[in-house]
Amino acid sequence: MHVDEWLQAIPAVWICVLVGLVIGIESLGIPLPGEIVLVSSALLAAKGVVDPLWVGVCASVGAIVGDSIGYAVGRRGGKPMFDRLGRRFPKHFGSEHIGRAERYFHRYGMWTVFLGRFVALLRILAGPLAGALRMPYWRFLVANVLGGIVWAGGTTAVIYYLGIAAERWLRGFSWVALVIALLFGIATTLFLRRRAARMAAEESAQEEQEGRPVGAG
């Protein structure tokens, strides 16, 4: 059974609760398909199964609260916690993943928390790692709240209106709305991917420069 079929089998109010719980648990550092559940719920909202406003609100709250709990856990457990997690779950918490995320934090600070919402691995690591690296909580909170609302609310809105436009288009109505929604979604995705790629490229360039022997070049 697909996620959307499974969600349709439960009451609307529990869909919203489930969205918030799954995203919250994922945000505090436990790998779960938060984005899949959010997208599926937004599509159900486009079909009238659930209120899109409550999907977006619950997803945003789950993201913000989950990240904040993850921050507290990371601050208390520190880097030794990631060493233990790396040995048990190398696919998600391996030294390579943690090292790359740490470099992003040191180089981009709050932007890592904000943009991390749009990257699967960083979405899991952002909160706990920010706490372990002792990022000031007020800075983390600002980036966490903004990132959670933009990612959760924005994803819900885009998928919802895409679903609405697609339904109308399939019935022979408003193809313009579908085109506009598609262009908006593509433009947003491209912008975030370019931003993430630029961060990765700058990080790689810095690593190459640091690894170059003195006097080389």
**Rounded distance between C-alpha atoms, residue 195 and residue 56, angstroms:** 24
| Lowest mean per-residue pLDDT among 98-107, 149-158, 202-211 | 202-211
With b for 16 or more beta-carbon neighbours within 10 A and e for fewer, the 35-63 pattern comes to: bebbbbbbbbbbeebbebebbbbbbbbbb
pLDDT above 90 for 56: yes
Quickly state the pLDDT bin for 92 (edges 50, 70, 90): low
Residue 204, Cβ neighbours under 10 Å: how many? 11
Nearest to 68 by CA among 154, 151, 157, 147: 147
The string of pLDDT tens digits covering residues 18-51 is: 999 999 998 887 778 888 888 888 888 888 888 9
What pLDDT score was predicted for residue 169?
53
What pLDDT score was predicted for residue 1?
47
- Model confidence, pTM: 0.69
Q: Please state the rounded mean pLDDT for residues 197-201.
A: 67
Residue 205, Cβ neighbours under 10 Å: how many? 10
- The domain ranges of the chain are 3-205
pLDDT above 80 for 192: no
Quickly state the pLDDT bin for 60 (edges 50, 70, 90): very high
Query: Are 62 and 21 a contacting pair, CB within 8 Å?
Result: yes
Q: Please state the rounded mean pLDDT for residues 126-139.
A: 85
